[in-house]
Structure 1
Amino acid sequence: MDAATARMRLESVLAELDRSIAVLRGDPSVRDRSGPDGGSVLTETDRDRALLEAAVQHRRAVVEAMARLDGGRYGLCVDCAATVPEGRLQARPEAERCVPCQSRRERRR
């Protein structure tokens, strides 16, 4: 993926994440959060908290990918420096690891 395309995709993902984070944080300019009854508030709050944390982590990964792009390291695995496959970057432009390194990391968890 060329740098201009990668930057455009990363900026698009970042903008969408910023909108999602604003909604999950209850920004009244983005979404009216009135309406749920008392019993559903806790469930909705827990769900929103989990979604917010996931969105914040995803945003962090996108910002880090943009830094790698600026530093000329985009598309290289952060663990072994192998080229991250084009298809992986198409699916997840913020991907920081090649498939073997990502698999090893997930098995260690």
Structure 2
Amino acid sequence: MLTELEQLAAKIGRVLHHADTLAAENQRLRDEIARLEGEAVQLRSEREAMAADRELLNIKIEEAQLRIQSILDKLPTASDTRQLDLLGEGVTAHGGEPHKAPGEHA
């Protein structure tokens, strides 16, 4: 009977040791879950900030496109006879020759 009690005590000891190991592993997993949840919250916050930045940039791009289109609409067209020769490359009224800058050769 003493031997049976010793064997039973040994088995109980192994079960308790195994239970302690499982409890430690359980706590490690809980800590890992908490860490990952924290990272997920941070990543979600960063994603929302990036989405807000992207939306703001899209608005700025649309505004810039409207300003550019407004500028383009104000420019004279190729068929407009009032178009200015801003580069000085057009035909002059006197000789029919293109205007050349001083020092420019044919």
TM-score, reference length from structure 1: 0.32
TM-score, reference length from structure 2: 0.33
Greater Rg over alpha carbons, structure: 2
* Structure number with higher relative contact order (C-alpha < 8 Å, ≥ 6 residues apart): 1
